[in-house]
Structure 1
Amino acid sequence: MVDGPLSGLLVIDLTRVLAGPYCTMVLADLGARVIKVETPGTGDDSRHIGPFIEDKSAYFMSLNRGKESIALDLKADGDRAIFDDLLARADILVENYRPGVMEKLGYGWEALHARFPRLIYAAASGFGHTGPYKTRPAYDMVVQGMGGIMSITGHPGGPPTRVGSSVGDITAGLFATIGINAALYHRTATGEGMKIDVAMLDCQIAILENAIARYAATGTAPGPLGARHPSITPFAAYQARDGYIIIAAGNNGLFEKLCGVLGRPDLMADADFASNDRRTQNVDRLAHEMELTLRHETVAHWMAALEAAGVPCGPINDVAQALHDPHVRARNMVVTIDDPVTGPLEIAGNPIKLSAFADPNTRGAVPDLDGGRDAILAWLGR
């Protein structure tokens, strides 16, 4: 286990695939002990999702490092007794079943709170535990479509485009983690646990930010804009001689510096570009004028010149380039699992850097299904 501010806390992890495991992974990275309770025989569904290394799922490994696994059938009396022993010692229970499943098993919030009043119960589901859609199943793609984010992703006139990362699941995992930490603070003050109900669809609405403001202000639903910002200009990907460069000149001062780098004082003097609002109204013309100059030199040339002038800019990296970026490496955002079967596997590090705790460049082993049973039972005195 990693040493962190949550060290000493026990998390019972009844989750699978992505939203729930992402939440418990963050809790583990912050020091909590996470015991993953899995279905006997099959385990977490993501154990069977590729890509595979030596028959082990790299997908599962990336989300479940540093956890322990015990396989329990929560419909069998003997396994329920073990689960009850775990709950008696637990601080936090995280689950991502459809609403009603835990109640059918006898482990719904009301029943658990009566027995374990200090237990914090976090539920991540597609649509939450209230509302007309609460019993519907959901995957990331479903809530991306329903939550509006796909409608503002991609290029105008293009087909529906999924965000390249599973933001439906990941945001639910992150909001659940935030809720858990708030509940821990509340418990410190009151001694009482609470239920945290996080819906993937709710989280998609929560991250629409500027799109909601634009709709509220104009009454028109925004659409996709490709790689540019909807209300700040120039703030987009622009064509240089050998590829694209991101330029984000978010105010008049930065735009003036950009014009200086480009050697284009005429742009600064043009009334169409005199303010951010005017630049946004004339976004296509400004992009055309900028690219007339940008296409004469390479991305590397413009990166050096813009950085020297203090204009925010960046390349468009693929995943390999991003993972090998020296700053990413310096921030310890690529760490290693040393698995006895697959060998070393690089995964994403913890972006939460805490002054009081080390940020190790390795993470705990990935548990085999039921691999922690003997140690867990011994710890329970069974």
Structure 2
Amino acid sequence: MPGALEGVNILDLSNWIAGPFGTMLLGDLGANVIKVESPDGDGCRPLGSPFQQGESHFFMGINRNKRDMIVDLKTAEGQAIIRDLVKWCDVLVQNMRPGAADEYGFGYEALRNEYPGLIYVTNTGYGPHGPLKDMPGFDMVMQGIGGVMHRGEEQPEIYRYFPPADMATGMLIAYAVSAALYHRERTGQGQLVDTSLFGTMLALQSGILFFGENPPPFVIHDIVPYIPTYRAYYDANRQYFTIAALSEEQWRRLCRIIGEEALGLDEQFDNLEKRINHAEELIPRIQQRFAEQPREHWIAALNAEQVPSGPVFTHEELREQPQVAEMNLLPKVQHPVAGETQMVGSPVVFHGSPTSIRRPAPMHGQHTEEILRELGYDGSKIQGLRDSGAVRQWQAG
């Protein structure tokens, strides 16, 4: 059964995380994605660990369902290849610094009149305008400048180990391309689409960015929010689990379950704002109770009373959960060098146009000659490009 985007051709000139993740999602939907890398390769290729047979799991996890070629964009021959690829593609995605694509001759303004149906997606740190537009953008920087790392003057800055700005921007790129394709279907017109890590970082905080004149303090635990009933606690075995009791009824149920029924009836804690204001008093008291039993006891008791709760798993524990297998969230893929690898599958299930993993992440330059032949280049021309260093081809073994 074909995917929703079967027949859509995507030229992926992006590097690192956000752009490649976004184009992978589009590839999962059936799009034909060609990834173009420099001779040095995507910045994520050497990122680890872990590595499997020398191949980065990080790179493999965000680059499946693509073919790959090596093109030196600094050469005239390489720039000509990109322009030939533009004739073929419906969508171009790039994350070069502002102005770089224009210097190479394939910026949006250079292409829009000749290819009015082209959907041209840029991904930068801070967008194409403004005082920060020329600054490079990496997720670590975005977590700091985007306000999510700061936890108050008395608290350490916390870096989220997974890259939220990068990964969420990738999702927004896939969202934007899908919408732009629908717009083109209705109007016949492509368009320029700008995405930025900075904009994504603010969008992720849409419901919490502004607290008014008196924001609540950030207190105590490094790994959880500051609300006493919306955080992680440890059990009798020092294993962590989470609770999410935000309503007044859930608060009273929680208190009954932990043997603190009087606490649930106390007027000084009878709404969420009061509980936040008394967090330094409530958290140790709740923690003392939770330390009396193993987390399995508490999770079962809380969920039975409609108070959401769950364990804090390691990656190893997560991998073994039956729910993961039931949802096919960690499928296995055969890689030409790494062998059998496991990666995160699509979390979205299409019942009429299913996603699929048709190919693993490509080797660096694995399909260079194959793609050039599809563009009409003959053997002698391809050899000339290889001799000049404008392109390279991966060789097995």
Q: Provide TM-score, normalisation by structure 2.
A: 0.88
- Which amino acid in the other structure matches residue 318 of structure 1? T
Structure 1 distance, partners of 2:48, 2:349, is: 30
Distance 1:281 1:75 in 2: 59
- Return 68-77 or 106-115, whichever deviates more: 68-77
Paired residues, number:
374
Provide the residue aligned with 1:111 in structure 2.
110
User: Taking structure 1 as reference, are residues 224 and 139 closer, same or farther at Cα in structure 2, changes over 3 Å only?
Assistant: farther
**SS of the counterpart of 1:370?**
coil
Moved more, 220-229 or 245-254: 220-229
In the other structure, the counterpart of 1:205 is 202
1:58-69 pair list within 5 angstroms: 58-69=57-68
Task: Check 1:187–1:310 CA distance in 2 against 1; reply closer, same or farther (3 A cut).
Answer: same
Tell whether the 8 Å contact from 1:151 to 1:224 is kept in structure 2 after alignment: no
Q: Which residue of 2 aligns with 1:80?
A: 79
State yes or no: 1:279 paired with 2:275.
yes
Equivalent AA in structure 2 for residue 49 of structure 1: L
CA RMSD of aligned residues (A): 2.1
Please say if residues 95 and 123 of structure 2, whose CA atoms lie closer than 8 Å, have aligned partners that are also in contact.
yes
- Residue type matched to 1:372 in 2? H
Give the Å deviation of 1:378.
Answer: 2.9
Give 1:137 deviation, angstroms.
Answer: 1.6
Describe the superposition over 1:292-321 as per-residue Cα deviations: whole angstroms up to 9, x where unpaired. 322211111111111222210011111222
- 1:218 match: 213
Structure 2: unaligned runs, 5 residues or longer:
378-397
Offset, 1:289: 2.7
1:296 has 2:309 as partner: no
Amino acid at match of 1:285: E
2:365 to 357, 367, 370: 370
Amino acid of the residue matched to residue 100 of structure 1? G
**Equivalences for 1:134-283 in 2 at 5 Å?**
134-152=133-151, 157-214=154-211, 217-218=212-213, 220=215, 223=218, 226=221, 227-230=223-226, 233-242=228-237, 243-283=239-279
* CA positional deviation for 1:268: 1.8
- In structure 1, the partner of 2:389 is none
Q: Which residues of 2 match residues 25-36 of structure 1 at below 5 A?
A: 25-36=24-35
Separation in 1, partners of 2:368, 2:201: 37
Counterpart AA for 2:371: I
Work out the CA distance in 2 between the residues paired with 1:54 and 1:39: 22
Report the alpha carbon displacement of residue 335 of structure 1 after superposing the two structures with TM. Answer: 1.6
Deviation at 1:131, TM superposition (A): 0.8
State the AA in 2 paired with 1:158: Q
Q: Which has the higher helix share?
A: 1
State how far apart, in whole Å, the 1-side matches of 2:44 and 2:300 are: 43
Query: What's 2:18 paired with?
Result: 19
Sequence identity, in percent?
A: 33
Runs of 4+, deviation exceeding 6 Å:
none
In 2, the alpha carbon distance for the partners of 1:346 and 1:58 equals 9
The CA distance in 2 between the partners of 1:224 and 1:339, in whole Å, is: 46
* Range with greater deviation from structure 2 (349-358 or 133-142): 349-358
State the shift of 1:284 in Å.
Answer: 2.6
Q: Is the CA contact 1:211–1:222 (under 8 Å) kept in the aligned structure 2?
A: no
